[in-house]
Amino acid sequence: MFVDKELKILRELLHQTQKELADNLSIPVLSVKRWEKKKNIIENNNIDKIYNYAFSKNIRFNEIFERYFLEECNKQNKKLLFHGCKNKLIMPLDFKHSKKENDFGVGFYLGETFKQAAIYIANSKSNKVYAYSLNLDTLRVYRFQVNTDWMITISYYRGLLNKYEKTNYLKKLVNKLKGIDVIIAPIADNRMFDIIDEFVNGEITDQQCQHSLVATNLGMQYVIRTERGLNKLKLLKDQYLSTNEKNSLVNERLDLNIESQETVKNARVKYRNKGRYIDEILV
């Protein structure tokens, strides 16, 4: 990984010379000069040092890059997306390492914002988020909203609906996705699956589940399901998530969990006995 852009941004915003920055980072000035000229690939411990120092000065490299990439993608009529990888990303991209039990089965999963992808890996050992542009022209796209079809589809791919797999409702949903290159759908995380499990187990109705899930508000994910889709992806940058930024995201996520819990409780009460139970839908 190169950090030439990061170092130049840091020095410009803090009005520091290469020597001053090197002193503040406790590293040789020669290293800073080489890194800025891309003569050396930097080690992870020094990347972390640079990013943590920037974070302490309220300089968010990843937000800066995200704004720049978003502007460029908008000009080209492309979609900016981010992939958080808990393990090493293997190039070229393929589907060999994707799990069948993901939200929509085998695929390459991306989020709409850097923060979405970063939160996904914040509790892992990984520190890489990959920024991509996606050209949706000519691709076959299917969009989901937070509704009954979405809840049942991801429950199916997660292996929760085996006893219902022969029902017409479920067959129609699965058939709709055949030949689709890209699925655009709400992100589902562990908090959501606790709620979805209750729906699948017949404890709450689809409306109770739907309005509870809306409260989690995690944003949308893009799932690339075909080689045609992968060929439309272009890697823009591998972005680094520093130790301090990770810790900040973990704390932010905890705060959001607490806020959404009350909204979920209210949705359960408000929509009690409204809607249908899963046995009434999958008949």
Cβ(189)–Cβ(168) under 8 Å?
no
Residue 268 has a pLDDT of 80
Alpha carbon separation from 47 to 56, 67, 119, 158 (Å, rounded): 14, 21, 19, 37
Residue 223 has a pLDDT of 97
What region, left, alpha or beta, does residue 275 occupy, with left being phi > 0 and alpha being psi -120 to 50 degrees? Answer: left
Residue 260 has a pLDDT of 66
Residue 41's CB is within 10 A of a number of other CB atoms, namely 11
Cβ(183)–Cβ(224) under 8 Å?
no
What CA–CA distance (Å, rounded) separates 203 from 196?
10
The residues that bridge with 186 in the sheet, in sequence order, are 220
Residue 255 has a pLDDT of 64
Residue 213 has a pLDDT of 83
What CA–CA distance (Å, rounded) separates 226 from 108?
9
Q: Domain boundaries in the chain? A: 1-59, 65-281
Cβ(170)–Cβ(282) under 8 Å?
yes
Residue 13 has a pLDDT of 96
Q: Does domain 1-59 have CATH number 1.10.260?
A: yes
Those residues with Cβ within 8 angstroms of residue 247's Cβ, 6 or more apart along the chain or in another chain: none
DSSP state of 132: E
- Taking the chain (283 residues) in runs of 10, the rounded mean pLDDT of each run is 91 96 95 91 91 96 96 97 89 88 93 92 91 97 94 93 92 94 88 85 91 77 97 96 92 69 79 91 89
| Cis bond upstream, residue 92 (ω within 30) | yes
Positive/negative CA dihedral, 242, 245, 251, 257: negative
What CA–CA distance (Å, rounded) separates 76 from 149?
33
Give helix then strand counts, H and E, for the chain: 13, 7
Residue 138's CB is within 10 A of a number of other CB atoms, namely 8
Tokens 């508000």 appear where? 217
Residue 215 has a pLDDT of 66
Positive/negative CA dihedral, 145, 149, 151, 156: negative
Alpha carbon separation from 24 to 10, 30, 54, 95, 141 (Å, rounded): 12, 14, 11, 44, 49
Residue 267 has a pLDDT of 80
Cβ(146)–Cβ(186) under 8 Å?
yes
- Do you know the residue count of the chain? 283
Tokens 């411990």 appear where? 45
